[in-house]
Structure 1
Amino acid sequence: MSRSTVASVDWVAILLFLALVLFGWANIYSASYGDQELSITDFSQVAVKQGYWIVLSITMIIMIMALEAKFFERFAGLIYVISLLSLLGLFVFGKTISGATSWYNLGFMSLQPSEFAKAATALALAKFLSDLQTNLKLMNHQLRAFLIIALPALFIIPQPDPGSALVYAAFFFPLYREGLAAMYLIIGASASILFVLTLLIAPVWVVSGVALLMGIVLFVQRKKRPKYAVFAGTLLVIVAFCFSVDYIFNHVFEQRHRDRFNIVLGKEVDAKGIGYNTNQSEIAIGSGSWLGKGWTEGTQTKGGFVPEQHTDYIFSTVGEEWGFLGATSVILLFVSLMMRLIYLAERQKSQFSRVYGYSVVGVLFIHFAVNVGMVTGLFPTVGIPLPFFSYGGSGLWGFTLLLFIFIKLDANRVNEW
């Protein structure tokens, strides 16, 4: 790594990254803590393996920073194609873990290509949007951008791994920043709200409420000659969507997904079955009170009451052992990192770097928001790890790769003109 790179690199983002990784390791150690002593040669211990993966991630960082920044833009398309092939290869050579064929067995470890596909998709999207011919106001260009985002998600869903596929919604953040009409975000948010409302109450009442609101809008705007055909068409689409929710929920979703939605929406209480993880997680977080029980002193954590606590439910360890203060500190660290990355993205001189930066922010935000919401019972359990925190080599390396490519691009911004 050259002196100029060291001087121009954003150390604030790196320090926030290190704080999250090290605090994450401390909580992984606590969540997997037993009576045995920690031995750096015992790979059966979760904390030891995570420690080695952290060391190897530093090697990855050095390699990324040693590359020319133009490498990522020049080979973005090739990296994306290789990523898609790695996802397709799972259907032939993949290893099934917890019901999902999402891994390659390398002998000494398992590798999950979907974790690296996020960075590849971000590069491909940035390359496409930074093309001089691209205009997101044109429908065919919008469709090509949507296709870049959708392909890896479509390859991930059948594994089945809907949680990882959900993350690709994050790439609409950079699209919106680069000029995509807000209509798409409004449609997505409206569809989500209508879906949940229809699950809670009968679709006829949801449709009646929407029709009433649209009628009020038409009455208020009657002097402006509103487009009645547009309102009528919109209402027909909403009616069709609301009355299809029941079919989608019962015939497209799997039973485990239906159960998780029903628990979150309060339609079912299953504290000993499908809702056990979330229930125990809430108990652990609530028992931490303001200051927590102390590191490695969490009774829920040491008792192993929260399944998968060192992976997707690692935030419950923070809540129990570090309390409200510790949980708030972790949230502030994530928010600070994302706000810093937005600042860095806005100061980029090239569109490629800016789009990639917003893609990084979007992926981190979706992972952070969904994971914390899942652990606290606000969202259904979908199996999304907490970036830099949850146990796993693929996850740590994937997020490290995603972040430090952008840090390298930012360090090179002085040479972009």
Structure 2
Amino acid sequence: MRQDDLYINKIDWISILIYAALVIIGWFNIYAAVFDEQNAKSIFDLSINSGQQLVRMGAAIIMILLIMVADYRLYDNLSMILYVFFLILLIATPFIGKEVNGQILTVGIGSVRIQPSEFAKFATALALAKYMERPSFDLSQIKYQLQALAIIMIPVILIMLQPDTGTAMVYFAFFIMLYREGMPQKYYVLALTIIAISLLALGVENNLYLVFAIAAVVAILIFLGKKKISRIISFIVIGLLMVAYVYSLDYVVSKLPQHQQNRIMVLFNPDLDPLGVGWNVTQSKIAIGSGGFLGKGYLEGTQTKFDFVPEQHTDFIFCTLGEEFGWTGSFIVILLFCTLLIRLVIMAERQKTRFSRVYGYCVISILLFHFMVNIAMTIGLFPVIGIPLPFFSYGGSSLWSFTILLFIFIKLDSHRIQMLGRMN
């Protein structure tokens, strides 16, 4: 068997087919989101979003071909160069970028513009994989934990300066990969505790109840734990820090931009301002709920037709699917995403090198975060932070960055045997 035949046989065609299905279904939903019954245009019309997205899909195919024909060693060798390049673009964006809705996110020439923060995701993933493949790297040591954290946090800080809080939050998904690679569990327990306390502090009107709960937990830990003075003092100090955090949270939230404060308030009280700050989520839930089991039919969604949901072709594309294809269509798309993620986990675990495995789990982490948070936004389970549904939402930067992210891993996976030989 020739080397080329062996390479083609190793390509994970299941993942490619799922990718194609999601992109095509997303394209049809983009058309539905902008469909005007009184002035209907062809789905291929370049003057509307679906036609423009089709051009971007063509560009994505070219990117896929370039990724798959390139030498697999290229992604390892250029990982740090790509990382530095996109860091420079992120630094330059506030100065040379175009402002949209108070944010300076895109750079480019004329109508061809990209969002560097989207592409920096795969560059950061490659940089982490390159750095962590070293034999001496050990996540149980604080030195290496801080170094990995620095690789993640540098783009986060630069993105926050744009400011783009939603995209910056995505980079914290890399901690899923770090957990797989041996980051101590105590950090995750601490993070989950802080998240739980934050949600309770924001959701409970009287913080005194939460303080009593913290005191009760500390008392139980002291009672059940070893009666060492140092252990008792530690529990008491931790409890006091938690109480201080609870009472400081309101002050921290008050310093956020008003639109972010509104999103947090609407999360805990959806009926607070249904005609104002709660409009998007309220209309999105109405659209999804009105679809019922089988949906109203393609291009028959009334919430969609009359533009009740803003940004329906981008951040809220899932509610178009829910209204027109109902629970059945939503379930199929969710099943496709879950199947792809499971497939990627299988692929990541069969890698022969740490570089490929780390990069694979970075891909999984980013896609999982986008998938879960975007859908949670549309049904009111997460604040609206403005991140797209992978392969599905309208936009060139998101489609291209997710495509590059995924197909670099598919390419690495197809050469996993050769990569082992190179490492040896």
Is the structural similarity TM-score above 0.5?
A: yes
Contact 2:315 2:387 in 1 (8 A): yes
* Equivalent residue number for residue 13 of structure 1: 15
State the AA in 1 paired with 2:186. M
* Equivalent residue number for residue 221 of structure 1: 225
Does residue 372 of structure 2 align to residue 369 of structure 1? yes
* Equivalent residue number for residue 74 of structure 1: 77
Query: 1: distance between equivalents of 2:175 and 2:257?
Result: 26
Query: 1: distance between equivalents of 2:158 and 2:228?
Result: 47
- 1:10-409 equivalent positions in 2, closer than 5 A: 10-34=12-36, 35-38=39-42, 40=44, 42-201=45-204, 202-222=206-226, 227-251=231-255, 253-266=256-269, 269-409=272-412
RMSD across aligned positions (CA): 1.6
- How far apart are 1:76 and its partner, in Å? 0.9
Contact 1:95 1:101 in 2 (8 A): yes
- How far apart are 1:196 and its partner, in Å? 1.4
1:70-96 C-alpha deviation (Å, 9 max, x unpaired):
111111111100010111110110101
- How far apart are 1:218 and its partner, in Å? 2.1
- How far apart are 1:165 and its partner, in Å? 0.3
Query: 1: distance between equivalents of 2:398 and 2:198?
Result: 31
- How far apart are 1:224 and its partner, in Å? 8.7
Contact 1:80 1:117 in 2 (8 A): yes
Contact 2:207 2:247 in 1 (8 A): yes
Other structure's SS at 2:105 match: strand
- How far apart are 1:361 and its partner, in Å? 0.6
Query: 2: distance between equivalents of 1:370 and 1:386?
Result: 9
- How far apart are 1:4 and its partner, in Å? 3.1
- How far apart are 1:401 and its partner, in Å? 0.5
1:284-327 C-alpha deviation (Å, 9 max, x unpaired):
10110000011111111111111110000000001000000111
Deviates more, 1:27-36 or 1:289-298: 27-36
State the AA in 1 paired with 2:216. L
- How far apart are 1:237 and its partner, in Å? 2.3
Residues 131, 401 of structure 1: alpha-carbon distance in 2 compared, 3 angstrom cutoff: same
Specify every segment of 5 or more residues in structure 1 that has no aligned partner in the other structure, as ranges: none
How many residues end up aligned between the 2 structures? 415
TM-score (norm 2): 0.95
Contact 1:291 1:324 in 2 (8 A): yes
State the AA in 1 paired with 2:20. L
Contact 1:9 1:408 in 2 (8 A): yes
State the AA in 2 paired with 1:18. A
Query: 2: distance between equivalents of 1:156 and 1:136?
Result: 26
Residues 370, 228 of structure 1: alpha-carbon distance in 2 compared, 3 angstrom cutoff: same
Specify every segment of 5 or more residues in structure 2 that has no aligned partner in the other structure, as ranges: none
Query: 1: distance between equivalents of 2:275 and 2:42?
Result: 33
Contact 1:135 1:141 in 2 (8 A): yes
**Sequence identity of aligned pairs in percent?**
43
Query: 2: distance between equivalents of 1:88 and 1:170?
Result: 22
Deviates more, 1:367-376 or 1:260-269: 260-269
Query: 1: distance between equivalents of 2:132 and 2:241?
Result: 31
1:170-217 C-alpha deviation (Å, 9 max, x unpaired):
100111111100111111111111111111223333222112012112
Query: 1: distance between equivalents of 2:276 and 2:347?
Result: 45
Contact 1:218 1:226 in 2 (8 A): no
